[in-house]
């Protein structure tokens, strides 16, 4: 029996497994499909909430910690796996922000570089950006990660770690309780045991806990994205306008996102969303209209009521823990949120106050 049993191999489950194994523990990771193929693959990889000043302090705290940690993590994964997660810190340009004063107050308060820049500055940085802007907001320290490569690198690292048993194609179908503890996890590949069980099932986390009578308020929120086959250099940094964004990859490709849809567990893509994303993207960078749309996909974000993830022990069950509900920010929050739970599991000093993320008091009666 492993020391820890992690359910769900998205970015949250894999980073949790990595840290527990780093600390010398045996870990079994159960993933229904292949690790890193759900929301953690489908996301954009901006290493910040989109308009960070509009988020609550608990989200800011985790994202600030993670932003500081990403360069080190990306370097480590590149060295250990040969896969470059393409962490690039090229800054972000905000066009047409209507709550600039609030943004500037927030930046001063948290000590984040953010400045109002002129049109000359904007077009020197991004010559193809929407014409006619008189100014922009510029966040020079913002980074982005190529999340499909991040998850591939994490998976490869875990496969190579002797203390990790990575079981893909193992769907968890139930949690067995005995004496106030999880005594075993039922899977399509048989019963699996673990001293401590951690549910990291993303948008599916609530379904895993429902049979125990726990109503975790995490729901799927569909997001569609399109990918342009753009020439290298057409877009160099993340540009955000009217809630939509373009994200360049190192090979020139440009992602444009994203929709927010309450559609249950449906992951189908629609022509309407594709058109809407195309219009937004070509307003941000008109030259994208000349580029082929190479790919169009949808993913399910683990939506929580206020976007604050649920991190910690499940009240009433001795050895069951949860880390889910990162909504639109799971890629940026992952390093900090997984570290916070691992700190708690291993009895270490937590990186931030765990209180706002705990389940106790946040579950419906």
Q: What is the DSSP code (8-state) at residue 26?
A: -
How many residues are recorded in the chain? 365
| Identified binder of ligand FAD from the candidate list 85, 201, 220, 335, rule CB under 6 A | 201
Q: Does 11 bind ligand FAD (CB under 6 A)?
A: yes
Query: What interhelical angle do 11-22 and 147-160 show, nearest 10?
Result: 40
Identify residues 224-253 at the interface with ligand FAD (CB under 6 A). Answer: 225
Look at the alpha carbons of 277, 64, 101, 55 in this order and tell me if their dihedral is positive or negative: positive
Q: Does 142 bind ligand FAD (CB under 6 A)?
A: no
Number of residues binding to ligand FAD, judged by CB under 6 A? 42
What is the C-alpha end-to-end distance of the chain, expressed in Å? 34
What gap in Å lies between CA 72 and CA 55, rounded to an integer?
25
Q: Does 320 bind ligand FAD (CB under 6 A)?
A: no
Identify residues 331-360 at the interface with ligand FAD (CB under 6 A). Answer: 331-332
Q: Does 311 bind ligand FAD (CB under 6 A)?
A: no
Identify residues 254-283 at the interface with ligand FAD (CB under 6 A). Answer: 257-258
Contact 325, 303 (CB under 8 A): yes
| Identified binder of ligand FAD from the candidate list 85, 223, 307, 312, rule CB under 6 A | 223
| Identified binder of ligand FAD from the candidate list 137, 153, 208, 342, rule CB under 6 A | 208
| Identified binder of ligand FAD from the candidate list 73, 74, 200, 239, rule CB under 6 A | 200
Contact 194, 186 (CB under 8 A): no
Q: Does 171 bind ligand FAD (CB under 6 A)?
A: yes
State the DSSP string of 272-297: HHHHHHHHHHHHHSGGGGGSEEEEEE
Q: Does 194 bind ligand FAD (CB under 6 A)?
A: no
Q: Does 302 bind ligand FAD (CB under 6 A)?
A: yes
- Which of 223, 228, 226 has the alpha carbon at shortest distance from 274? 226
Q: Does 172 bind ligand FAD (CB under 6 A)?
A: yes
**At 196, is the secondary structure helix, strand, or coil?**
strand
Q: Does 197 bind ligand FAD (CB under 6 A)?
A: no
State the DSSP string of 96-160: S-S-HHHHHHHHHHHT---EEEEHHHHHHH-TTS-TT--EEEEETT--B--HHHHHHHHHHHHHH
**At 69, is the secondary structure helix, strand, or coil?**
helix
The mark string for 18-57 relative to ligand FAD (x by CB under 6 A, - otherwise) is: ------------xxxx----xxx-xxxxx-----------
Q: Does 321 bind ligand FAD (CB under 6 A)?
A: no
Stretch that binds ligand FAD, among 131-139, 155-163, 297-305, 352-360 (CB under 6 A): 297-305
Q: Does 73 bind ligand FAD (CB under 6 A)?
A: no
Question: Whole-number minimum distance, CB 274 to ligand FAD, in Å?
Answer: 13
Binding residues vs ligand FAD (CB under 6 A): 7-13, 30-33, 38-40, 42-46, 171-172, 200-204, 208, 223, 225, 257-258, 299, 301-302, 324, 326-332
């Amino acid at each position: 029996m492993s020391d820890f049993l992690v359910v769900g191999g998205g970015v949250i489950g894999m980073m949790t497994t990595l840290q527990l194994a780093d600390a010398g523990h045996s870990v079994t990771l159960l993933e229904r499909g292949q690790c890193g193929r759900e929301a953690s693959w489908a996301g954009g990889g901006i290493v910040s909430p989109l308009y960070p000043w509009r988020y609550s302090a608990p989200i800011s705290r985790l994202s600030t910690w993670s932003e500081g940690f990403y360069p080190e993590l990306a370097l480590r994964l590149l060295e250990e796996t040969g896969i470059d997660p393409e962490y690039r810190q090229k800054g972000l340009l905000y066009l047409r922000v209507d709550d600039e004063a609030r943004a500037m107050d927030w930046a001063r308060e948290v000590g984040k570089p953010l400045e109002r820049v002129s049109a000359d500055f904007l077009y020197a940085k991004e010559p193809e950006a929407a014409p006619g802007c008189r100014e922009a907001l510029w966040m020079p320290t913002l980074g982005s990660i190529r999340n499909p490569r991040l998850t591939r690198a994490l998976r490869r690292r875990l496969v190579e770690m002797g203390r990790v048993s990575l079981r893909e194609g193992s769907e968890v179908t139930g949690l067995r309780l005995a004496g106030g503890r999880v005594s075993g996890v039922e899977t399509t590949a048989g019963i699996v045991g673990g001293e401590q069980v951690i549910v990291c099932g993303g948008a599916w986390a609530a379904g895993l806990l429902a049979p125990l009578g726990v109503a975790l308020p995490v729901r799927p929120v569909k997001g569609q994205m399109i990918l342009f086959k753009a020439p290298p250099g057409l877009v160099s940094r993340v540009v955000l306008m009217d809630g939509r964004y373009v994200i360049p990859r190192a090979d020139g490709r440009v992602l444009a996102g994203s929709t927010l849809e309450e559609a249950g567990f449906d992951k189908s893509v629609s022509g309407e969303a594709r058109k809407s994303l195309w219009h937004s993207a070509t307003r941000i960078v008109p030259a994208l209209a000349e580029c082929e749309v190479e790919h169009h996909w949808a993913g399910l974000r683990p939506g929580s009521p206020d976007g604050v993830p649920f991190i910690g022990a499940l009240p009433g069950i001795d050895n069951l823990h949860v880390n889910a509900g990162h909504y639109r920010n799971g890629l940026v929050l992952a390093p900090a949120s997984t570290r916070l739970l691992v700190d708690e599991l291993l009895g270490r000093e937590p990186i931030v106050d765990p209180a706002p993320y705990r389940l106790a008091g946040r579950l419906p009666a």
